[in-house]
């Protein structure tokens, strides 16, 4: 009766998952792969705490069934860096102290990451519009927006510094 | 090369005729296009308007949804500069705040009335029919006066007109005179004898200020509404605007109460949740006078008529909805499928089970964790899948700060193939109708904003 395993790529690694194809990706990430960054918030795709990237796009993993992932690579907050060596966006969130309770932050970071990967120099209005889908109940939105701004400026700076040498 | 030169040789006479016709049209248009400027006036003071008329003007502006085109999402109210994509290029709405230099602050009521009824700006230049003066021409002098009072008491904003980007030669405004000659049927609404006061009020608002048919009626090659297909289904910003006449795709016939509630809240538990451009419409209509909205509903219901063919669809769709799970539906009128089509349906079924059923099969009233049963949803019965594609991809989200029903978008979650499969499945199991032709083209069209 066991269903055939479904192969997905998460943070660059292949995994064979034995689960009902309708299982939300979020459950697979947390329960099968112990990637606990993405959070279960509302379970209805309304709060954004479960946001991960699939094929480069910010996606709500609580309403995305395992069956639709296919060959598209999944990236979670764990794929951006570690506590010791945070990625540039994670570093910006630390520097702006953008987390209060922290429950929404992994989702916020992944939605912001998707923006910065497709648009390295977003305007403030573009950041606001893009981040609007993710909710924070503590009210640290202003710090979150500043963190995304800081990361975008930092990455742009890096690119500018790198420019002449490469 | 040979064929090419032969082709080129045939071209000049055609060009010549076209050129002559064009010239002739220009001369004719010029004769029709000239209108005098109306002298500027000092902006009327706020207290020169009666407060009751002003309040009424606010409700009327809500029915006209003036803000829909004249208020930019990040801009000041009524300051214009909203880009409106048309088949003829991009037109930017103008500033209708009472700023004397860049808005309508120097417009007398007479100039305002002429703009609404004839599509002529205060200085005499012709306005493009993206501004629905072909509808506003039906407005009564009384209502125009109240709208004038409302707009002249808004906060004046300095915002110069944004240049349009229209296809050649449409940047040449006098050409609009030709369009007006063909399609502008000037004059106020004439009540229809034998119909009730409510019906006439509804017809007046629907055809005039509400300009419902601007989106819900198909347009011809010159962008004019095809009167013979009045309210027969059109388009708005890449969405299908459903037919409101006897061709309504809704499986469940609408009642006046349901239409009225839908227009004011965007929610109808047996039909739809307002999405796309209609969200904006219901948001503003929530500020309109309740009786006016009801009159619109009563008129639309009378245009729709008593549902004949709808009855069977209604019973069948209710029966499918009552099964709860779509997976339990056995499509009755559909040919059996095999091969690739079968594979697509299996894929669609699995997408539905994983991504949609959690809310749409929940079997409760429409609330925060349950959604419309799809055998009832008008969008799966539409003649083309544009609106459904956009709902799947973009979800249904009230404007920031507004309340309303909410559905997450699946653009990041589902690939085009998965959406194609989902559409095939929904069309067969939720609507029990034949597949939509050319889903691929609709997918492509719906991906451009």
CA distance A110 to A128: 15
A44, closest residue in chain B (CA to CA): B369
Residue A13 domain boundaries: 6-161
Domain assignment present for residue A57? The answer is yes
The answer to whether A68 contacts B359, with C-beta atoms less than 8 Å apart, is: no
Q: Does B412 touch chain A (CB under 8 A)?
A: yes
CA distance B217 to A53: 41
Q: Is the dihedral of CA B372, B377, B379, B380 positive or negative?
A: positive
Considering only CB atoms, B354 lies closest to which of A21, A54, A125, namely: A21
CA distance B47 to A21: 67
pLDDT confidence of residue B208: 97
Q: Does residue A129 contact residue A149 with C-beta atoms inside 8 Å?
A: no
- CATH number, residue A19: 3.10.20.30
Q: What total number of domains does chain A contain?
A: 1
| Omega before residue B75 within 30° of 0, cis | no
| Dihedrals phi, psi of B90, to nearest 5 degrees | -100, 130
Residue B109 domain boundaries: 46-183
CA distance B13 to B27: 21
The answer to whether A44 contacts B412, with C-beta atoms less than 8 Å apart, is: no
Q: Does A64 touch chain B (CB under 8 A)?
A: yes
A74, closest residue in chain B (CA to CA): B413
Q: pLDDT tens per residue, chain B (449 residues)? A: 444 444 455 556 778 888 888 888 777 666 777 899 999 999 999 999 999 999 999 999 999 999 999 999 889 999 999 999 999 999 999 999 999 999 999 999 999 999 999 999 999 999 999 999 999 999 999 999 999 999 999 999 999 999 999 999 999 898 898 899 999 999 999 999 999 999 999 999 999 999 999 999 999 999 999 999 999 999 998 899 999 999 999 999 999 999 999 999 999 999 999 999 999 999 999 999 999 999 999 999 999 998 777 777 888 888 888 887 888 888 887 888 889 999 999 999 999 999 999 899 876 666 666 789 999 999 999 999 999 999 999 999 987 777 788 899 999 999 999 999 999 999 999 999 999 999 999 999 877 55
Q: Does B411 touch chain A (CB under 8 A)?
A: yes
Q: Does A3 touch chain B (CB under 8 A)?
A: no
Residues in chain A with CB shorter than 8 Å from the CB of B415 are 68, 70, 72
Domain assignment present for residue B244? The answer is no
- Of B164, B183, B202, which one is at a domain's C-terminal end? B183
Q: Which residues pair with B190 in a beta bridge?
A: none
Nearest to B381 by CA among B286, B273, B246, B248: B248
Q: Does B359 touch chain A (CB under 8 A)?
A: yes
Residues in chain A with CB shorter than 8 Å from the CB of B358 are 44, 63
pLDDT confidence of residue A162: 46
pLDDT confidence of residue B9: 52
In the structure, what pLDDT confidence band is assigned to residue A165 with cuts at 50, 70 and 90? very low
Q: Does A67 touch chain B (CB under 8 A)?
A: yes
B401, closest residue in chain A (CA to CA): A132
Domain assignment present for residue B235? The answer is no
Domain assignment present for residue B229? The answer is no
The answer to whether B415 contacts A64, with C-beta atoms less than 8 Å apart, is: no
Domain assignment present for residue B107? The answer is yes
Residues in chain B with CB shorter than 8 Å from the CB of A46 are 406, 408
Q: What total number of domains does chain B contain?
A: 2
Neighbours of B310 (CB within 10 A): 20
- CATH number, residue B75: 1.10.760
Query: Average pLDDT of A74-99?
Result: 97
- Of B136, B168, B183, which one is at a domain's C-terminal end? B183
DSSP-based three-state secondary structure for B100? coil
DSSP-based three-state secondary structure for B337? coil
ipTM of the complex: 0.89
Domain assignment present for residue A81? The answer is yes
Domain assignment present for residue B93? The answer is yes
- Of B183, B214, B230, which one is at a domain's C-terminal end? B183
B360, closest residue in chain A (CA to CA): A44
Q: Which residues contact B129 (CB under 8 A, 6 or more apart)?
A: B119, B176, B179, B180, B183, B184, B223, B224
Supply B207's token pair: 């055809």
- What is the 8-class DSSP label of residue A97? T
pLDDT confidence of residue B331: 81
CA distance B282 to B261: 10
Long-range Cβ contacts of B246-249 (<8 Å, 24+ apart): B246/B304, B246/B305, B248/B304, B248/B307, B248/B310, B249/B378, B249/B381, B249/B382, B249/B383
Burial of A67 (0-12, 13-18, 19+ CB in 10 A): buried
pLDDT confidence of residue B449: 52
Q: Which residues pair with B367 in a beta bridge?
A: B370
Burial of A164 (0-12, 13-18, 19+ CB in 10 A): exposed
The answer to whether B408 contacts A54, with C-beta atoms less than 8 Å apart, is: no
B422, closest residue in chain A (CA to CA): A68
Domain assignment present for residue B128? The answer is yes
pLDDT confidence of residue B308: 72
Domain assignment present for residue B340? The answer is yes
The answer to whether A63 contacts B350, with C-beta atoms less than 8 Å apart, is: no
Domain assignment present for residue A166? The answer is no
Domain assignment present for residue B31? The answer is no
Q: Does residue B386 contact residue B446 with C-beta atoms inside 8 Å?
A: yes
Q: Does residue A131 contact residue A148 with C-beta atoms inside 8 Å?
A: yes
Considering only CB atoms, B408 lies closest to which of A23, A45, A55, namely: A45
């Amino acid at each position: 009766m066991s269903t055939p395993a479904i192969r997905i790529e998460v943070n660059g690694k292949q995994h064979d998952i034995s689960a009902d194809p309708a299982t939300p990706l979020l459950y697979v990430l947390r329960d099968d792969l112990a990637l606990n960054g993405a959070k279960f918030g509302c379970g209805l795709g309304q709060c954004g705490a479960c946001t991960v990237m699939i094929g480069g796009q910010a996606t709500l993993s609580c309403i995305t069934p395992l069956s639709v992932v296919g060959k598209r690579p999944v990236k979670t907050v764990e794929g951006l860096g570690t506590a010791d060596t945070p990625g540039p966006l994670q570093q910006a969130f630390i520097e702006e102290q953008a987390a209060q309770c922290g429950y929404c932050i992994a989702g916020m970071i992944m939605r912001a990451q998707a923006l910065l990967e497709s648009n390295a120099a977003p305007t403030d209005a573009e950041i606001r519009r893009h981040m609007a889908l993710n909710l924070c109940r503590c009210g640290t939105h202003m710090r979150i927006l500043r963190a995304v701004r800081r990361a975008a400026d930092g990455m742009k700076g890096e690119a500018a510094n790198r420019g002449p040498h490469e | 090369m040979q064929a090419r030169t032969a082709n080129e040789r045939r071209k000049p006479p055609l060009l010549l005729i076209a050129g002559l016709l064009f010239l002739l049209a220009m001369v004719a248009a010029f004769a029709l296009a000239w209108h005098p400027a109306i002298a500027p006036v000092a902006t009327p003071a706020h207290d020169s308007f009666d407060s009751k008329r002003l309040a009424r003007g606010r409700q009327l502006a809500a029915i006209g949804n003036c803000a829909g085109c004249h208020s930019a999402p990040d801009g000041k109210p009524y300051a214009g500069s909203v880009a409106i994509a048309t088949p003829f290029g991009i037109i930017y709405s103008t500033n209708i705040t009472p700023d004397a230099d860049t808005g309508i602050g120097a417009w007398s009521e007479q100039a305002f009335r002429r703009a609404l009824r004839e599509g002529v700006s205060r200085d005499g230049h012709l306005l493009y029919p993206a501004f629905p003066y072909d509808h506003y021409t039906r407005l009564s002098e009384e209502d125009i006066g109240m709208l004038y009072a409302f707009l002249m008491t808004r906060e004046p904003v300095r915002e110069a007109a944004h240049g349009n980007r229209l296809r050649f030669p449409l940047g040449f405004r006098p050409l609009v005179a030709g369009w007006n000659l063909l399609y502008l049927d000037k004059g106020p609404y004439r009540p229809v004898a034998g119909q009730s006061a409510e019906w006439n009020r509804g017809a007046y608002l629907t055809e005039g200020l509400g300009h419902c048919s601007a989106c819900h009626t198909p347009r011809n090659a010159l962008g004019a509404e095809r009167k013979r297909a009045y309210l027969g289904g059109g388009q708005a910003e890449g969405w299908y605007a459903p037919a409101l006449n006897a061709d309504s795709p809704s499986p469940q016939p609408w009642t006046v109460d349901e239409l009225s509630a839908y227009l004011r809240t965007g929610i109808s538990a047996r039909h739809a949740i307002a999405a796309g451009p209609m969200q904006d419409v219901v948001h503003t209509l929530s500020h309109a006078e309740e009786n006016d909205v009801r009159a619109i509903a009563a008129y639309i219901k009378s245009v729709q008529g008593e549902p004949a063919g709808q009855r069977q669809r209604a019973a069948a769709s209710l029966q499918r909805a009552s099964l709860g799970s779509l997976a339990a539906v056995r499509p009755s009128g559909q040919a059996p499928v095999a091969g690739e089509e079968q594979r697509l349906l299996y894929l669609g079924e699995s997408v539905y089970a994983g991504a949609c059923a959690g809310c749409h099969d929940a079997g409760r009233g429409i609330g925060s964790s349950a959604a419309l049963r799809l055998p009832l949803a008008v969008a799966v019965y539409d003649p083309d899948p544009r609106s459904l594609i956009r709902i799947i991809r973009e979800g249904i989200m009230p404007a920031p700060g507004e309340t309303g029903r909410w559905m997450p978008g699946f653009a990041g979650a589902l690939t085009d193939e998965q959406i194609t499969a989902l559409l095939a499945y929904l069309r067969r199991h939720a609507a029990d109708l034949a597949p939509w032709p050319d889903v691929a083209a609709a997918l492509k069209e719906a991906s451009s904003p």
